[in-house]
């Protein structure tokens, strides 16, 4: 069982490389980048895992201030479990102190849903994480909506956000980052009632 002094591992899921940076599948990286900015850190290569990490503290001064490791696996989405498990073991993070931030097809664009545990809903990053360490980690599901017409899901998630979506993307990424801070400081129920829309 975890306690308040245990660190948190916040994982933004995505694919490495500039060609993927603005794609829907990389919204987890976008949120992780914003959180790193907020805690004044820069991502560096992890020594013990195929990932980039930032270590720091998050939350208000006092008992709600948490030690955090922000991570972006550099293994490509469908192999995310290996780097996340290596980081979990290296930093001694309980599984219920891991938060995966990821794109979600079955939710409207910009809508957030926070939960603990559950299935992977066909998401390859979650599938890989669950296979490596079980499903008892938190998820921040960032809605990207379904592909239009007959577009294949794989093509849709690997496309950049549309120009219309980009107008609001900054706001939604900001809100997702806020939800991570709320989850750590105030717990899942409070974060769900504030951010699940």
Closest CA to 170 of 113, 111, 101, 110: 110
If DSSP codes are grouped into helix, strand and coil, which group holds residue 117?
Answer: coil
Distance from the Cα of residue 104 to its chain's centroid: 11
CA 66 to chain centre: 17
Strands in the chain per DSSP E? 8-12, 44-45, 51-58, 66-73, 98-104, 112-116, 138-143
Report the C-alpha gap between 171 and 174 in whole angstroms.
5
**Residues catalogued as catalytic:** 25
DSSP count for the chain of H helices, then E strands: 6, 7
Residue 26 tokens read as 């990389």
């Amino acid at each position: 069982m975890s306690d308040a002094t245990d660190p948190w591992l916040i994982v933004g899921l995505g694919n490495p490389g500039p060609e993927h940076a603005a794609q829907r599948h990389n919204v987890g990286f976008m949120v992780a980048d914003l959180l790193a900015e907020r805690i004044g850190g820069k991502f560096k290569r992890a020594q013990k895992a195929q990932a980039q990490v930032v270590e720091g503290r998050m939350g208000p001064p006092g008992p709600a201030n948490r030690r955090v490791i922000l991570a972006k696996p550099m293994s490509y989405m469908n192999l995310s479990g290996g780097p996340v498990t290596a980081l979990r073991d290296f930093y001694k993070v309980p599984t219920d102190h891991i938060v995966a931030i990821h794109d979600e097809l079955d939710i409207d664009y910009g809508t957030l849903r926070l939960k603990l545990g559950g299935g992977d809903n066909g998401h390859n990053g979650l599938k890989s994480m669950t296979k490596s360490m079980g499903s008892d980690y938190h998820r921040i599901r960032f809605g990207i909506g379904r592909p239009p017409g007959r577009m294949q899901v794989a093509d849709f998630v690997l496309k950049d956000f549309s120009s219309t979506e980009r107008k609001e993307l900054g706001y939604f990424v900001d809100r997702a980052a806020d939800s991570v801070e709320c989850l750590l400081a105030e717990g899942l129920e409070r974060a769900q009632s504030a951010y699940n829309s």
